[in-house]
Amino acid sequence: MDIAKVNKNKAFLRNIYMKGPFQGHGFCVKGYSEPIFTDPAGCYTLSSTPLKHGLPWAVKNYRNQLDCFEKVDHDGVPLAHLTTGTHIYAAAFGCKVHTFPDNNPCAVPFVNSPEEADKIEEPDIWKSPTIYRIFELGAALKKELGQDVDLGPCDMQTGFDTAALVWNKEDMFCSMFDPEGKESVKRLVDKCARFFKTVMIELRKEFPTLSPDHCPWPWCPPELAPWASNDECGALSPEMFEEFCMPEILDLSATFGGFGMHCCAAAEHQFPSFMKIPNFYAFNRVQVLQSPKGVEDIFPVLAGPHGPVHVIGWQTLEQFEALIRKAPEGTRFIFDVTPCTFAGVQGSYDESRRIVERLRKLSPRQD
């Protein structure tokens, strides 16, 4: 691997995240990654099989990133990912996990009332297999690939999103309108939020090269704050979002010096609240069918020099070009331009090169 090129790309991306002098938008390509459900031993966070049987799968994915880095001139950094499904935190709280032959595992809710929610205790990381196995994989990858290998993170879920997996969502959302039930919701969210923060603190302590961007994967400086999925906010009013979700996000921002977010909900009505987050430095907006403008709905509130850096994936070349052309001045983008469809079919390296070359004509790299 060309270490000089890696370091140059890191400096280029760090400048975008830190909003230094504009040097162009970032265009990153991810080599093919096999999903966790393709491992013959099953998802490593659910298996008691010795981790060495799952390691070749993770190492192979990293080798694919190196191959892509060598064959495509892009702005990214190869990462060895600690890939998981979304189930990891909910499972630690007691959820059973349903597995599929052709998709990632998912947590099955088991709480159906405020009384049941109040009985849940905050788990111990080191007694929660779906969590401590992530640390085991990270240690194994460092041993296999070198202590300085750049790691990609596990899934990251806000406490509210985890609570909505643990608690039957219909009952949880109804309880949010009940004077007594809403306090139970807040208590469960608080437990889930503290647990997530504890996991993040320990991961960052154990793995100082861990990129905090869990979706859509481009490298982010490890010293910057964690990202987290904030998907349930699409179902809430702005007032409910600020009451039930914002306290955790403000605490994360205070703890880590900022906050990065992934959101695949129709949540444009929450964008003004997002801008209240101190150092809301990065945002992954996923295009949703419910939003007629797609990703462009970020422009009225979240674009420009005071908005977060927008890390965007799962778009066509034409959509990427439109975002660059239409964005208000001062908007910063890092694009995951890996050619793919929502079905996960990945294009060739030739196609990746074509996309990067065409986008760089709109936004040349000037570092």
> Nearest 5°: CA angle at 215, between 214 and 217?
80
Q: What is the pLDDT along the chain (367 residues), one digit of tens a residue?
A: 899 999 999 999 999 999 999 999 999 999 888 888 888 888 999 988 888 766 888 999 999 999 999 999 999 999 999 999 999 999 999 999 999 988 999 999 999 999 999 999 999 999 999 999 999 999 999 999 999 999 999 999 999 999 999 999 999 999 999 999 999 999 999 999 999 999 999 999 999 999 999 889 899 999 999 999 999 999 999 999 999 999 999 999 999 999 999 998 889 999 999 999 999 999 999 876 555 667 899 999 999 999 999 999 988 899 999 999 999 999 999 999 987 543 344 568 888 999 999 999 999 999 9
Q: DSSP letter at 74? A: -
Phi and psi, residue 344, nearest 5°: 85, 15
Looking at residue 341, its pLDDT comes to: 41
CA distance 362 to 300: 22
CA distance 221 to 133: 24
CA distance 89 to 157: 8
pTM: 0.94
| CATH class of the domain at 32-311 | alpha beta
Enumerate the domain spans of the chain. Answer: 32-311
Reference 309, options 67, 1, 23, 16; nearest CA is 16
CA distance 165 to 106: 9
Question: How far from 183 is each of 110, 175, 186, CA to CA, in Å?
Answer: 19, 9, 5
